[in-house]
Amino acid sequence: MASKGDLTKARLAESMLELIQTSGYSGTGLNAVIEHAGAPKGSVYFHFPDGKEGLGVAAVDLAAKQFQALIAETAASAGSAGGAARAAIETLATIVGESDFRLGCPVSVVTLEMGAESERLRQACATAFESWIAPTAALLEGSGLKTAEAHSLATVVVSMIEGAVIVSRAMKSTQPLLSAADVVAELVDQRIQAVGATR
């Protein structure tokens, strides 16, 4: 069972993550995080001695785990790699749309805002993206693609999703994400079918 301190630390990271998505990293102050989390004032520096940067890393790590869970869930329920990709993107489209296009990918937000300013945050973002690419690549490899090709295609898939989230938010429409879902599913299935045809 998690201790009271662990629960407070987790709540702070969750609040930071949510606020990054709506206000950006630079627009999120520690006081806002404390208020949003309903945490004691001294709790941020107790749990995150390096302050906002450490809290930002925790939020990026949390976002990485959440999307990893989505990938695992869709992979388990979909009948094909293309179907899994489509299901994951359609789920993201629903999340973005239901938030009135206020929620996006916090990892891309932090990358764009802080990637050139903080090496620690840039590395956390790079690790998050790779944590999404790796299981996607494993799914593709399990469908017959060679390791290098699977990783390359997985990188393209994750990159397309990230771009589609940004365009959907700008246009206040889920169509860019739904279009990406169609294209990604078709691309993945075509590559896997091509491998099968050469065997």
Distance CA 178, CA 102 (A): 17
CA-closest candidate to residue 83, choices 181, 156, 197: 181
Number of alpha carbons in the 13 Å side-chain half-sphere of residue 194: 10
First to last CA, the chain: 51
Going from the C-alpha of 115 to that of each of 29, 82, 122, the distances in angstroms are 18, 31, 5
| Domain assignments of the chain as residue spans, ordered by start | 60-197
pLDDT tens digits, 6-45: 899 999 999 999 999 989 999 999 999 999 999 998 899 9
- Chain-centroid distance of CA 109 in Å reads 10
Which tops the pLDDT comparison, 99 or 4? Answer: 99
Confidence (pLDDT) at 17: 95
- Tell me how far CA of residue 53 lies from CA of 81, 122, 127, 155, 171, in angstroms: 36, 11, 16, 27, 31
* Region 60-197: CATH code: 1.10.357.10
Residue 102 main-chain phi, psi, to 5 deg: -90, -30
DSSP calls for 69-102: HHHHHHHHH-SSHHHHHHHHHHHHHHHHHHTTT-
Percent of the chain scoring above 70 in pLDDT? 97
The answer to whether the CB of 30 falls within 8 A of the CB of 44 is yes
pTM metric for this prediction: 0.90
pLDDT digits (tens, 9 = 90+) for 142-183: 999 999 999 999 999 999 999 999 999 999 999 999 999 999
Q: Are residues 142 and 54 in contact, defined by beta-carbon separation less than 8 angstroms?
A: no
- pLDDT of amino acid 71: 87
179 φ, ψ to 5°? Answer: -65, -40
Name the residue with tokens 């999340």.
Answer: 95
24 within 8 A of 109, measured Cβ to Cβ: yes
Q: Over 90: is that where the pLDDT of 126 sits? A: yes
User: What pLDDT is stored for residue 195 in this prediction?
Assistant: 83
Query: Among residues 65, 79, 94, which one has the least CA distance to residue 168?
Result: 94
